[in-house]
Amino acid sequence: MAHQVHIIGGGMAGSEAAWQLARRGVHVRLSEMRGGGDTTAAHNSDGLAELVCSNSFRSDDHEKNAVGLLHHEMRGCDSLLMAAAEKARVPAGSALAVDREVFSAAVEEALAAQPTLEIVRERVDVLPSDGLTIVATGPLTAPALASSIGAATGADSLAFFDAIAPIVYRDSIDMDVAWMASRWDKGAEASIALGGDGRDYINCPMTREQYENFHAELIAGEKTEFKEWEANTPYFDACMPVEVMAARGIETLRYGPMKPVGLDNPHWATPEHPNGRWPYAVVQLRQDNKLGTLWNMVGFQTKLKHAEQVRVFRTIPGLENAEFARLGGLHRNTFLNSPTLLDRQLRLKSAPHIRFAGQITGCEGYVESASVGMLAGLMTAAQIAGRDWTPPPRTTALGALLSHITGDAEAETYQPMNVNFGLFPPLHGVKKKARKEAYTERGKADMAGWLATLG
């Protein structure tokens, strides 16, 4: 099948871009190297849009949350990935979490049904010299193509490390020690609507002594060694390995992934716990599949060696006999200095027939990656149709993220960024407590007007 657009990469961004184009009748060739004899250090399957880190798309609250607003806007653009997430959704309080396998299968099924879309399992080693192209190979771009991108951009890509959290089998968790609850019961109504009971996290409690011993074990545990070429690569803060956080200070984890606030332990209503039912620290696990058989350790991405992970994490109360479906890992991510290299339509300034999309542009997070892929698809569809492209307003989550990537950020200090209200044009004269809601109200109103301009 002759194609009008070549998309390289079948992850979150590539899949969303392909959907937006194909549903508008554009002939697309989607090249994905997994399934064609190649894979990456982080992927476990050949499925399109495989989630390799967390199974969470983060908060689905679109009233006061930037990523929740991004969910809302993507749904308004008929996002395939948001629709697939609804099909694969599992209870997670106010967060949007999914069964990974169900999610990937839903994406692949929808794309395979598009008559103008051809999915090809092949590795692309060189940037095409002509023809409309969207590069959405993500932070794990294969070395040959990365070299070709480097040659085309005239500059070395930046790089950072990303770490993956372990996944535990539910039936190996001791629920006589752990208990089910959401922090302050937040998101209980949303959870119940999805078939949950409002208590969507498994909580493993620690006393002060247990926490301090665990902290010491994290610090002392044997870590993955860097290769020479990786030595100066920084971490992205949102995926900081738990032991790196621990090294920042004894209290760091208690104010991060192990914070105990809002978690009242019913097992501790006994004389053995004179300080009451409130733990000193808590390890939370979140449901990872629809069956509820797999649970991931929230915020516990790690670079501990596998044997050390088993040893150290089994010192957590409730996880003494934990069996791991997947242990944590570490991989090197790369991204472009997009404010310097890309124009406002995500086109490579030195080769404007090529657009980049997803995490390789320097956005961070599943939703952000998919949203940039969606925008790349919409931009390309407008170009093919001969229509002028009007970007989403900067007051929207889509517009704020796009503006950050394509020019608002400082090129000298550019690094991966999740969507957040700091990227939005400021609101003046609004009290701090009402500001988040005001941002989302403004964004929704401006988004409604922009949606009317889409073909």
CB 34 within 8 A of CB 42: no
Residues listed for the chain:
455
CA 247 to chain CA centroid, Å, is 24
What CA–CA distance (Å, rounded) separates 205 from 282?
5
What CA–CA distance (Å, rounded) separates 447 from 71?
12
**Bridge partners, residue 5, by sequence:** 28, 132
Q: Per the annotation, does 362 bind a ligand?
A: no
Backbone region of residue 362 per phi and psi (left: phi > 0; alpha: psi in -120 to 50; beta: other values) = left
Q: Per the annotation, does 377 bind a ligand?
A: no
CB 210 within 8 A of CB 317: yes
Question: What single DSSP character describes residue 251?
Answer: T
What CA–CA distance (Å, rounded) separates 22 from 19?
5
Number of other residues whose CB lies within 10 A of the CB of residue 418: 18
What CA–CA distance (Å, rounded) separates 56 from 50?
12
What angle, rounded to 10 degrees, do the helices at 366-385 and 66-76 form? 30
Number of other residues whose CB lies within 10 A of the CB of residue 302: 27
Closest CA to 147 of 167, 131, 124: 124
Task: Give the position of tokens 């039936």.
Answer: 171
Q: Per the annotation, does 14 bind a ligand?
A: yes
Q: Per the annotation, does 74 bind a ligand?
A: no
**Bridge partners, residue 183, by sequence:** none
CB 268 within 8 A of CB 179: no
Q: Per the annotation, does 245 bind a ligand?
A: no
| SS3 of residue 89 by DSSP | strand
Backbone region of residue 309 per phi and psi (left: phi > 0; alpha: psi in -120 to 50; beta: other values) = alpha
Q: Per the annotation, does 12 bind a ligand?
A: yes
**Angle (CA) 77 79 81, round 5°:** 165
CB 96 within 8 A of CB 61: no
Task: Give the position of tokens 């492209």.
Answer: 389
Write out the two tokens for 92: 């997670």
CB 4 within 8 A of CB 29: no
Known binding site for FAD: residues? Answer: 9-14
Q: What residues form the annotated binding site?
A: 9-14
